[in-house]
């Protein structure tokens, strides 16, 4: 029997992610992981729908009602570590409303802790770890035929209720085998990217061009393994052409763990964007590392339409960079920033506060380094040892993890009520880190040169409103500190 499937992006709201004040700056983006699964299910003729709760502004009750209305027999829910609490409640209520429905969970948290997730969420029946495309198809088609013990990449409960873990599923070797994500099943008018990532107010979709990363940063989940796998350049171009024809896009976020990790790939992609004329029509952003670009590549990327790169600078301390195995130097960061600005590409910088063994002085070095590099936007997050990372494993071994209540695994704790930071280095306090995250933003953004830069870039009333809210949030955080 083939199941009909509903895939759910859980009601994990912008406020849950960023807190009341910062929610204005968060993105609600397409759940592409689910859209890939749906594309594969459709290809096999399986009836599938996607319920995107954050985009549709749905709460748990309305998701449960929608599942009832659809009348599906298999429900798949995506799970990130900080959305654990919401997903657990959702599963419980789905099962309460219809006990014969099968619930499968997947996503980065499940990949990191498959068995534990099944134990901790008793209403779930199956947990998928690793890439889900082939697994969900097999589950939807074969559950009754071959039984769950024949499906790789899952954990499940056997007849006696004991948790069983099957062997891993190999990564998809040829990514082009996977159909385009089923965007037609998503509420496409309801997405918006973070303000710092868009060139104008038009819709900015994301396209994923590669999976996997060969680098070894200790705080990273490596959800797609260490081996880099790419779509062919032809497939990427045809997906962009599709997005241009279907959604009339003018901008794009090109996603890959590190787009520039393989020079041959990024060079061919840029040349193809130029030769097809897409470079003249589409502006794009991407994420990269400071040691995987050089002046010539940056120049080519600019010609190919790249207007912004997000770099993970992480910290202003070489000792800490070495400790997190970033394998870059502060000098490399400075040089790359210089080249990127020289070719006319704008920069977003990611910085981490509260790394293991970090001192207050080193935190200040990070904030000062951000000011020195002077990217257009800087993001300062509190270090969270996500499960599945080497950082989590070593802190866990050393009994240094403060909470296993996954809801608190949020990098924006500084802005969240009742936050409990999962890791705090010796000699530091949660309160200090919370204050530091706010102070970092104030120090970075409340500079006259930054005010002038932002005011001169205002293009609309909407822009102005966003900047005003930003200023209000920063001032409020300062007053709260003094009060």
Residues at the interface with ligand B12 (CB under 6 A): 12, 17, 27, 29-30, 32-34, 36-37, 76-78, 80-82, 104-109, 112, 128, 131-133, 135-136, 206, 208, 220-221, 223-224, 255, 257, 386-387, 410-412
350 binds ligand SF4 (CB under 6 A): no
Selection from ligand SF4, ligand B12, none that 385 binds (CB < 5 to 8 A by kind) is none
257 binds ligand SF4 (CB under 6 A): yes
Least CB distance to ligand B12 at residue 238 (A): 18
Select from 214-222, 369-377, 391-399, 468-476 the region that touches ligand SF4 (CB under 6 A): 214-222
Max CA distance (Å), the chain: 67
Least CB distance to ligand SF4 at residue 389 (A): 9
Selection from ligand SF4, ligand B12, none that 112 binds (CB < 5 to 8 A by kind) is ligand B12
- Distance from CA of residue 441 to its chain's centroid? 21
Residue 173: how many other CB atoms lie within 10 Å: 8
Selected binder of ligand SF4 within 95, 197, 289, 438 (CB under 6 A): 289
Decide: 382 and 433 in contact? Cβ < 8 Å.
yes
Residue numbers 215-234 binding ligand SF4 by CB under 6 A: 215, 217, 220
Selection from ligand B12, ligand SF4, none that 258 binds (CB < 5 to 8 A by kind) is ligand SF4
How many CA within 13 A on the CB side of residue 144? 5
Rounded-to-integer distance, Cα 158 and Cα 155, Å:
10
Give residues with Cβ within 8 angstroms of 103, minimum separation 6.
75, 76, 77, 91, 94, 95, 123, 124, 125, 126
Q: What angle do CA 395, 401, 406 make, to 5 degrees?
A: 120
Q: Counting Cβ atoms within 10 Å, is residue 460 exposed (0-12), middle (13-18) or buried (19+)?
A: exposed
| Contact pattern for ligand SF4 over residues 307 through 336, marking x by CB under 6 A | -----x------------------------
Q: Which is nearer to ligand SF4, 156 or 423 (CB)?
A: 423
Which residue, among 186, 91, 172, 93, has the nearest Cα to 135 in the 3D structure? 172
Least CB distance to ligand B12 at residue 318 (A): 23
Which residue, among 243, 266, 305, has the nearest Cα to 32 in the 3D structure? 243
Q: Which is nearer to ligand SF4, 182 or 217 (CB)?
A: 217
How many CA within 13 A on the CB side of residue 256? 27
Q: Which is nearer to ligand B12, 226 or 476 (CB)?
A: 226
Q: Which residues bind ligand SF4 (CB under 6 A)?
A: 213, 215, 217, 220, 257-258, 289, 312
């Amino acid at each position: 029997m083939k199941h009909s499937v509903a895939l759910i992006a859980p009601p994990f709201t912008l406020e849950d992610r960023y807190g009341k004040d910062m929610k204005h700056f968060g993105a609600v983006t397409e759940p592409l992981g689910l859209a890939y699964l749906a594309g594969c299910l459709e290809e096999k003729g399986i009836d599938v729908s996607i319920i995107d709760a954050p985009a549709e502004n749905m709460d748990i009750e309305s998701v449960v009602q929608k599942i009832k209305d659809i009348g599906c027999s298999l429900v798949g829910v995506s799970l990130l570590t900080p959305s654990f609490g919401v997903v657990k409640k959702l599963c419980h209520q789905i099962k309460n409303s219809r006990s014969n429905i099968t619930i499968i969970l997947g996503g980065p948290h499940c990949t990191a802790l498959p068995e534990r997730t099944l134990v901790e969420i008793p209403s779930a029946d199956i947990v998928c770890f690793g890439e889900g495309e082939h697994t969900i198809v097999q589950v939807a088609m074969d559950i009754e035929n071959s039984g769950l013990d024949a499906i790789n990449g899952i954990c499940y409960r056997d007849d006696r209720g004991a948790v069983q873990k099957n062997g891993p599923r190999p990564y998809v070797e040829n990514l082009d085998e996977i159909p385009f994500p089923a965007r037609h099943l998503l509420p496409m008018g309801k997405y918006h990217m973070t303000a710092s990532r868009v060139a104008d107010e038009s819709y900015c979709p994301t396209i994923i061009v590669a999976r996997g990363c060969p680098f070894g940063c200790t705080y990273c989940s490596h959800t797609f393994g260490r081996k880099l796998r790419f779509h062919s350049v032809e497939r990427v171009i045809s997906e962009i052409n599709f997005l241009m024809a279907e959604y009339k896009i003018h901008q794009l976020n090109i996603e890959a763990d590190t787009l520039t990790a393989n020079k041959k790939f990024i060079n061919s992609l840029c040349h193809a964007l130029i030769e097809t004329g897409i470079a003249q029509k589409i502006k794009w952003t991407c994420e990269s590392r400071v040691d995987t670009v050089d002046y010539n590549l940056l120049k080519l990327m600019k010609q190919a339409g790249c207007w912004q790169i997000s770099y993970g600078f992480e910290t202003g301390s070489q000792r800490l960079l070495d400790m997190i195995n970033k394998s870059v130097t502060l000098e490399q960061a400075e040089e790359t920033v210089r080249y990127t600005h020289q070719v006319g590409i704008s920069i977003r910088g990611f910085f981490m506060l509260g790394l293991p063994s970090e001192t207050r002085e080193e935190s200040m070095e990070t904030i000062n380094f951000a000011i020195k590099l002077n990217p257009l936007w800087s993001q300062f997050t509190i270090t969270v040892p996500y499960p599945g990372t080497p950082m989590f494993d070593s802190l866990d071994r050393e009994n240094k993890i403060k909470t296993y209540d996954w809801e608190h695994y949020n990098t924006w704790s500084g802005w969240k009520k009742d936050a409990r930071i999962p890791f705090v280095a010796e000699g530091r306090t949660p309160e200090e880190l919370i204050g530091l995250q706010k102070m970092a933003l104030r120090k970075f953004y409340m500079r006259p040169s930054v005010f002038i830069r932002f005011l001169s870039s205002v293009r609309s009333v909407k822009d102005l409103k966003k900047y005003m809210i930003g200023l209000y949030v920063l001032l409020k955080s300062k007053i709260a500190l003094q009060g």
